[in-house]
Structure 1
Amino acid sequence: MKSLKKYHLSERVKIVSPSLPGEKSKALLKLQGEIEGNVVSYPKNMPIAIKRAKGSIIEDVDGNHFIDFFGGCGVLNVGHGNEYVLDYVKEQQSELIHALDFPTENKLALIQKILKHLPKEIQGNYKVSFGGPTGSDAVEAAIKLAKIKTGRDGIIAFSGGYHGMTSGALAVTSDTFFRKKITSLIPNVHFVPYSYCYRCPFNKEENSCDYDCAKHFEWILETGHSGITIPAAIILEPLQGEGGNILPKEGFLERIVEIAHKYGIIVIFDEIQSGFYRTGSFLEFMNTRAVPDIITFSKGFGGIGFPISGLIYKKNIEAWKSADHIGTFRGNQVSIAAARGAFDFIEEYNIEEYTKTIGSYLVEKLRVLESENPFIGEVRGKGMMIGVEFVKDKTTKEPFPEYLKKFRAECFQRRLLFEVGGHYNNVMRLVPPLITTKNIIDVAIEIMKDAIVVCMEEYMEPILAKNKTE
């Protein structure tokens, strides 16, 4: 395989400031606080001002180099500033940028690439439609199409699911943190349990569970007294992201799709984060035998951060007519060119297989930490979409968000960036660029080990002292 080293700014961290944030970052963070709206969130836990980035390395305005295991929230699948992709971007920028939904060779070539990368047996069954620039736009479009097709109104979503911040997308997002200040979203949305075996909502062990979550979903549909009428659609992530990088039990997705189709319900798979080779396959559903009716895409499809979103959907649910769904910025030509470049880069460098290999390498390293740390309850995931859940006790599984908060802060000071999620904000969510090298992973693991030593001193000593007293 061709070396990926040249696509990174470096393969190590660089410490310039004695502590973070550095002085230049402090000044820009202060100015941001004065002139930008209060909804800013990421700099609250990762307080830096960014100057440049390449591959898996970010440089702040003070000259510090950080390892990026955050990946722009799962967007930068082929890395920051990938020059291979930028060549496509520059060529397109010199010709055409904005074209509404007029046909272009650029756009039609991308649609053909998308369809070509679906499983051969279903390639001819699907179409592609672009939406606005964000994943939320794709979700809104999917819900609209399902309602138009079925003539029904309701939607069933899943606990732990995240689908976006616009009204419809937020309505099918389960995290009440985002919903508690909003008194009205789209109506007739209901939630059912997702397959979260580490924290089974039915208190079953994985080896004794008979897909109780899927059976509960079916019960809701078959009984006349669940209070839920047959919906237009269900929407779920084949591998949950914000919910804690949760990989469902094998066979769960197949059962859910089978049940939904039995009742004439359209199945929407949200592949906005799990798609575009994030888990090692083009789309995560391709690792299963489950076949959805609609697939939402965004994030990684822009390759290096260009905004793009849309739907891949079965031809037999085509229900909308011209202008039933529009958007000024749908199918931006530069973003489309970036997506084509990312596709070609992935093929030339065999990133599909590399993602599986490098993801397994990272999981292996993390599981060594799990075996040595009493506060790591589970390491899970697929490809480069990995979750590490922190608990106070491996038997009781009581969430330990305080430990993770401290751990994250210590990793940050050592120049490692990652996001936190999960039902209790106790899951380290790792979504690095797919081109991350083993050298970079080794440095990141050493940072984690050093951070763990500090955290253990703070949290383990009181426990040992308490046990000694008792």
Structure 2
Amino acid sequence: MTLEKYHLTETPTIKTEILPGAKAKKILIDQEQFESNNRNYPRKFPLVPKIAKGAIIEDVDGNQFMDFFSFCGVINVGHNNEEVLIDAQEQMNEIIHTMDFPTETKIAFMKNLNSNLPQQLKDNIKINFCGPTGADAIEAAMKLARLKTKKNLIISFQGAYHGMTTGALSVTSNFKNREGLPIVNQGTHFAPFSYCYRCPFGKRPDSCKTECASHVKNLLENPNSGIDSPAAVLLEPIQGEGGVVIPKKEFHQEIQKICNDNGIPLIHDEVQAGFYRTGKLLSSEHFEVTPDIVTMSKGIGGIGMPLAILLIKKEFDVWEPGMHAGTFRGNQVSMAAGNSAMNFIKKNNIEAHVTEMGEVLMDGLLQIQKQSKFIGEVRGAGLLIGVEYVRDEESKEPFSEFCVKMRKELFENGILIEVGGYYSNVIRILPPLTITKKMVHTFLDVFDRVNSIVEKEYVRNEVAMPVL
């Protein structure tokens, strides 16, 4: 398998003396004049994209960057994947918008998706198309669970990120995302997540008895827990924005058993970790669990086409006709792109490739960790990887400033990454699934060099500080 042809090039190239270059700087000024203060990413790295292919984005000044966060985990089979583009363009020439009328394209997409599901879900689900974002899918999933159970409370988890609409924010734990909107957290109870590096119960792997799952069991089965019986338990199989937090398998299995025993719908948010990001269609497959409702978006559109769906076990499909609508739930170009992306993944054995490239990335980052003063943990599944920075290995005090500096320096060296985590101290690495081994090694070389430079700068500043 050769994937080089799906990329503009395999190395980053910075041509201008400074970033942003002259053309980019002018456009960024124009953006500031006309666009709302709500704009975000250009403040983190002043990028003005012009063309893109695979994992390479070229800006208006000719600088070429390696996209190692897939524009928020959306571009799973690479920017402008030529095979997916052909199918999307053919669909565009026929019909684009169809509401929820059936089309040959929609049926092909649903059949293809169903055939690729794990055995426990295959032929046992209905597919619900909703608004085109992950937050829309979360809203629909919570609404469906509440209709099914006639209850209101949702149990979510610390570190959770489910979107920025008010409903999705109600189950998102970060206070900053909910700042100024105190009412949105009503109807949610946040339980501790299985975050072994920062165990909320102070346990170590050799003493852990999955207390995080036992805590949820107590909430649901103790008549004096103080919370209402919930409409659903909602969680990400692997937390993405939370810092690529990968729970113990036992945690997921216990949560599923607890939900089953208590007749509570289990919702998995696969918006970021799903669609082969971890080497499997659903990241829950790694944990050998089966949710009742699944939300999917981001990568399922293949090359960035807007698409969001629910996978619903048939017994939970209690919608009445028209009970949940959405004008753009019938985007045929997105469905054509999603169908084509699945075919591309199967034809090129991308699942195995993701696993292999993930191992190369993890091995390289673990070697860098051995020489680093501030990397506390490297964790990942497939091409969803997090590098957590701490000021001290023992105290694990978060080092968010280091990550912000790394993001800036990596950008200036032609690499795009993002920062996340409970304390904004985790570098999140999510390259397109078509990334080549040469690009992975280039990334590791640049990451190693930049990490050393930033580390020396902080160590030097610490030494220079006067002792009080």
TM-score of the two chains, using structure 2 as the length reference: 0.98
1:421 matched to 2:416? The reply is no
Structure 2 equivalent of residue 371 of structure 1? 370
Change (3 A) 1:310 1:71: same
Structure 1 equivalent of residue 207 of structure 2? 208
Indicate if the aligned counterparts of 1:234 and 1:265 stay in contact, CA closer than 8 A.
yes
Distance 2:38 2:45 in 1: 15
Distance 1:130 1:207 in 2: 44
The one-letter amino acid of 2:452's match is: V
Moved more, 391-400 or 300-309: 391-400
Alignment gaps of 5+ in structure 2:
none
Distance 1:279 1:299 in 2: 14
Q: Secondary structure at the match of 1:454?
A: helix
Distance 2:402 2:372 in 1: 12
Alignment gaps of 5+ in structure 1:
none
Distance 1:34 1:225 in 2: 56
The one-letter amino acid of 1:11's match is: E
How far did 1:186 drift? 6.4
Q: 1:337-373 deviations in whole A, cap 9, x for unaligned?
A: 0001100100110001100001111111111111110
Structure 2 equivalent of residue 274 of structure 1? 273
Q: 1:180-200 deviations in whole A, cap 9, x for unaligned?
A: 211322631110001000000
Aligned residue runs from structure 1 range 122-137, under 5 A: 122-137=121-136
How far did 1:242 drift? 0.3
Indicate if the aligned counterparts of 1:26 and 1:48 stay in contact, CA closer than 8 A.
no
Distance 1:408 1:86 in 2: 31
Q: 1:277-301 deviations in whole A, cap 9, x for unaligned?
A: 0000011111222110000000000
Distance 2:123 2:88 in 1: 29
Structure 2 equivalent of residue 337 of structure 1? 336
How far did 1:422 drift? 0.2
The one-letter amino acid of 2:8's match is: L
Structure 2 equivalent of residue 44 of structure 1? 43
Distance 1:53 1:308 in 2: 21
The one-letter amino acid of 1:151's match is: K
Distance 2:378 2:293 in 1: 30
Distance 2:311 2:157 in 1: 21
How far did 1:121 drift? 4.1
Distance 1:122 1:184 in 2: 36
Percent of aligned positions that are identical: 47
Structure 2 equivalent of residue 397 of structure 1? 396
The one-letter amino acid of 2:429's match is: L
Structure 1 equivalent of residue 315 of structure 2? 316
Structure 2 equivalent of residue 352 of structure 1? 351
Q: Secondary structure at the match of 2:385?
A: strand
How far did 1:113 drift? 1.1
Indicate if the aligned counterparts of 2:359 and 2:382 stay in contact, CA closer than 8 A.
yes
Indicate if the aligned counterparts of 2:101 and 2:330 stay in contact, CA closer than 8 A.
no
Q: Secondary structure at the match of 1:20?
A: coil
Root-mean-square deviation (Å) = 1.3
Q: Secondary structure at the match of 2:162?
A: coil
Indicate if the aligned counterparts of 2:121 and 2:290 stay in contact, CA closer than 8 A.
no
How far did 1:438 drift? 1.1
Distance 2:235 2:323 in 1: 24
Structure 1 equivalent of residue 58 of structure 2? 59
Q: 1:287-344 deviations in whole A, cap 9, x for unaligned?
A: 2221100000000000000000010010011111101111110031000000011001
Q: Secondary structure at the match of 1:276?
A: coil
Indicate if the aligned counterparts of 2:374 and 2:455 stay in contact, CA closer than 8 A.
no
Structure 2 equivalent of residue 110 of structure 1? 109
